[in-house]
Chain A
Amino acid sequence: MKRRNLLATAAMGLLLASGGAFAQGMDKVKACFVYVGPIGDGGWTFQHHQGALAVQEAYGDKVEIQWQENVPEGADAERVLTQMALGGCNIIFTTSFGYMDATNAIAAKFPDVKFEHATGYKREHPNVSTYNARFYEGRAVQGHIAGKMTKTNKIGYIASFPIPEVIMGINSYYLHAKKANPNVELSIVWAFTWFDPAKEADAAKALIDQGVDVIASHTDSTAPLAEAAKTNGAVIGFGQASDMAIPEYMPTPRVSSIIDNWAPYYVKRVGELMDGTYAQVDSWAGIKEGEVEIGMITDAVPEEVKAEAEAMRDAIAAGTYHPFTGPINKQDGSPWLAEGATAPDGDLLGMNFYVEGIVGDIPQ
């Protein structure tokens, strides 16, 4: 693709692509990754980069990987994507929701390049796939542990922004805590940030000061765990995004964790590109596919609770249990899921309500 005929080529390519140009394999693949934060964030971006390294590991010199950290959403993302596509990337993973429109816009211009967008829903072109992980499955297991472990019957959740992803996690966490312990009350703190360790620590402290003794968080740093660690075992929490298995935080306060493991998906997709079986997908994988992992449950959790939590994990993996199984009412008491019904993915992806029993309003 050279110079001025970029757009003309793109238009021609669109025609070709619709004819199924996906079906031939490749000897060598250049896989590229766009990150929203620094690799050293210890959470979200770190885990995506682990996935990228796993691709390198799996295919050795048959792949070349490239990445770009700290890419702001919008115009900057479009530029980075264009540069990567021009620079010969065969497949580009865009690892933040905010890249959705940029990914689709650039995909239109480079029909021969495969684009993979994390956590979004737009696939406007045949060369755009989307992938996400069912984090709510992990939240269910955490909720169960929380319900069983709390002594004060007060559990807490440090939330980032009021988006479906986060609300889904809160609901799943609460439902399973409630199931394990009907007296449980959930306090939610909205931090309005993905990453601000000092503020996250303050939020954890506020929860602890008001009697909460189990804290889950949907922000990225280990600060809430560190705050819980100051209570000498009275308060427990969970690793978020990465395992956070810091030896000093085990067996408490880190009793378990949700790990975003993108490696299986990345390795699979790059592999498919090589052997010619690559096709557009909308992937939403969870515990079953290994994309969501439950980090080791420590000895601080009684043997039987641990066994129950692991049984739940295995049931979810086997497909015999869905964390959102009716009857479930919405917060206002109106029915959502009937007895035995499981939540359709569409409901989950656009979730904008709390389930019955949660106190407070979602910031609107």
Chain B
Amino acid sequence: MLRLEKRPTPSKFWLYATPPVAVILTMIAGGILFAAMGKNPFEVIRTIFWDPLFGEFAFYLRGQLLVKAGPLILIAIGLALGFRAGIWNIGAEGQYIMGAIVGAGVGLAVFPTESRWIFPVMVIAGAFGGWVWAMIPAILKTRFNTNEILVSLMLVYVAETILAKASTGFLKNPEGMGFPGSRNFSSYPAAQNSFIYEPLGLHWGGVAALVTAVLAYILLTRHQAGFQIRLAGQAPRAARFHGVSPARLVVLCMGISGALAGLAGMFEVTGPAGQISIDFNTGYGFTAIIVAFLGRLNPLGIVLAGFLMALTYVGGEMASTNLGLPDAAIQVFQGMLLFFLLAVDVLTNYRFRLAVGAH
């Protein structure tokens, strides 16, 4: 019988080899699924993984990868800090929404003033909106010992209601003939998050995501706070002996993740999305949780995981449109990919051994 045996040290080889192995396994399993649905599996797999990068329209789609990955990376890095410290912010989606509302609100409040200061102020406002929304569960946790999973999750639904109210009420476009939705930022250059370099899909949100990844990496590996975060997650008791205040850590981690989610929302609403609308949020806050773990809670890993997720979205969409696959089949495929990535990861820290007899 096979049994798992812990490696003395994590395997360097498998650390890098597991993602490709998982992708190959997914291609096989997914191929069987697509074949069962009457599609040519090779064509589907090529459309998902190859075409967005090197296909006929890759000149456009490559840029879209960063557009899609940017918010995921930005949110996931914030979440990863908290997850490492054992702080469970499940409500990034709500913080993302509030960042968008506050950031956009500041910009729309001064419409149509043109000033180079507007956008930077909006960026701060967006981060602030997300930060405040994350501070609610943080402070309730430190003051009243309330579980942050529940509070942050419930606040997502509250944020969604506020979003509906914003788009049909206080942020509604006064020239929108009564229709829901705010003004579109594409018609307000001073407050717009426009592309810096379109072929790469690079806008300020993408810049922020990549810069944050580097900063988070430095924080975690070089800085005292990073050490405290890792210690608190691995050995809470030892952390306390080292003078780490759990309350401060909660406020710090929730605050950072909230602010980053808020930033992501702000960059999204002023750029790719363009406006506040009832259905502005599309689940980045939840998907980012998966991205954080796929990236093994490591900022650089998260960047790669973010791009991989983005690839399955963009490629999956192409497969769906061009080959007539139901969107649900793509969801199943994405689910499989995640399963394989998570399962194969075991080889980094363990190896399979043939065990003789019962244990």
- Which A residues are within 8 Å of any B CB, using their own CB? 3-4, 6, 32, 36, 38-39, 66-76, 78-80, 82-84, 86-87, 97-98, 100-102, 105, 120-121, 161-164, 192, 346, 349-352, 363-364
Which B residue sits closest to A3, measured CB to CB? B59
Contact A74-B320, Cβ < 8 Å, known A352-B178, A363-B165? no
The minimal Cβ–Cβ distance linking A278 to chain B, given in whole angstroms, is 23
* A363 touching B168, Cβ below 8 Å: yes
Task: Say whether B279 contacts A98, CB under 8 Å.
Answer: yes
Contact of A192 with B57 in the complex, beta carbons under 8 Å = no
Report yes or no: A349 in contact with B317, Cβ–Cβ below 8 A.
no
Interface assignment of B124: CB less than 8 Å from any CB of chain A: no
Are A72 and B282 in touch, CB under 8 angstroms? yes
Q: Give me 19 other A-B pairs in contact (C-beta within 8 A), A79-B317, A86-B60, A349-B177 excluded.
A: A3-B59, A38-B328, A73-B282, A74-B272, A74-B273, A75-B67, A76-B68, A79-B314, A83-B57, A83-B60, A84-B321, A87-B321, A98-B277, A105-B274, A121-B177, A163-B168, A164-B177, A164-B179, A346-B177
**Which residues from A are CB-within-8-Å of B165?**
363
CB-CB contacts below 8 Å: B149-179 with A: 161, 164-165, 168-169, 177-179
CA distance A342 to B208 in the complex (A): 54
The residues of B that contact A121 with a CB separation of less than 8 Å are 177, 179
User: When the two chains form their complex, are residues B179 and A83 in contact, meaning their CB atoms are under 8 A apart?
Assistant: no
Known: A76-B282, A83-B321, A163-B179. A70 touches B327 (CB 8 A): yes
A101, B322: Cβ atoms under 8 Å?
no
Contact of B178 among A32, A100, A161, A349 (CB under 8 A): A349
Interface string of B263-280 (1 = CB under 8 A from A): 000001001111101111
Q: Is the CB of A75 within 8 A of B180?
A: no
Chain A residues with Cβ below 8 Å from B194 are none
Whether B324 sits at the interface, judged by CB under 8 Å, is: yes
Whether B314 lies near A4 (C-beta < 8 A) is: no
With both beta carbons as reference points, the residue of chain A lying nearest to B178 in the complex is identified as A350
Closest chain A residue to B278, Cβ basis: A161
Q: Which residue of B lies closest to A102 (CB)?
A: B274
Contact A68 B321, CB 8 Å, known A73-B277, A74-B268, A350-B179: yes
- Residues of B at the A interface (CB closer than 8 Å) are 56-57, 59-61, 64, 67-68, 161, 164-165, 168-169, 177-181, 184, 186, 199, 268, 271-275, 277-280, 282, 314, 317-318, 320-322, 324, 326-328
Q: Is the CB of B324 within 8 A of A66?
A: yes
- A66, A70, A101, A352: the one contacting B275 at CB < 8 Å is A101
Report whether B180 and A67 are in contact in the complex, using a CB–CB cutoff of 8 Å.
no
- Chain A residues with CB below 8 A from B320, complex form: 68-69
Residue with the greatest number of chain A CB neighbours at <10 A, chosen from B56, B59, B168: B168
**B61 and A83 form a contact (CB under 8 A):** yes
Q: How far is the CA of A350 from the CA of B180 in the complex (A)?
A: 10
The 5 A-B pairs at the shortest CB distance, nearest first, are namely A75-B272, A350-B178, A74-B273, A72-B282, A69-B327
Quote the shortest CB–CB distance from B274 to chain A (angstroms): 5
Bound: A342/B187 CA distance, A? 35
Q: How far is the CA of A39 from the CA of B320 in the complex (A)?
A: 13
B60, B164, B268, B278: the one within 8 Å of A82 (CB): B60
Task: For the complex formed, measure the closest distance between the CB of B189 and the CB atoms of chain A, giving whole angstroms.
Answer: 15
Least CB distance from A106 to B in Å reads: 11
Q: Which residues of B contact A163 (CB under 8 A)?
A: 168, 178-180
| Interface contact B178-A75, CB-CB below 8 Å | no
Partner of A6, one of B60, B178, B318, B321: B60
> Would you list 17 pairs from A and B whose C-beta atoms are within 8 A, ordered by A residue?
A39-B326, A66-B321, A73-B273, A74-B272, A76-B282, A83-B317, A83-B321, A84-B321, A87-B322, A98-B278, A101-B184, A121-B177, A121-B179, A161-B278, A350-B178, A352-B178, A363-B168
Q: For B322, what are the chain A residues with a Cβ–Cβ distance below 8 Å?
A: 66, 87
Output the nearest chain A residue to B313 by Cβ-Cβ distance. Answer: A76
Kindly state the separation between the CA atoms of A217 and B113 in the bound complex, as whole angstroms.
43
Most A CB atoms within 10 A — which of B60, B169, B268, B327? Answer: B327
Which of B67, B168, B279, B327 contacts A73, CB < 8 Å?
Answer: B279
Min distance, Cβ A115 to any Cβ of chain B, angstroms:
16
Residue of B nearest to A351 (CB): B178
Chain A residues with Cβ below 8 Å from B268 are 74-75
| A11 → B minimal CB distance (Å) | 14
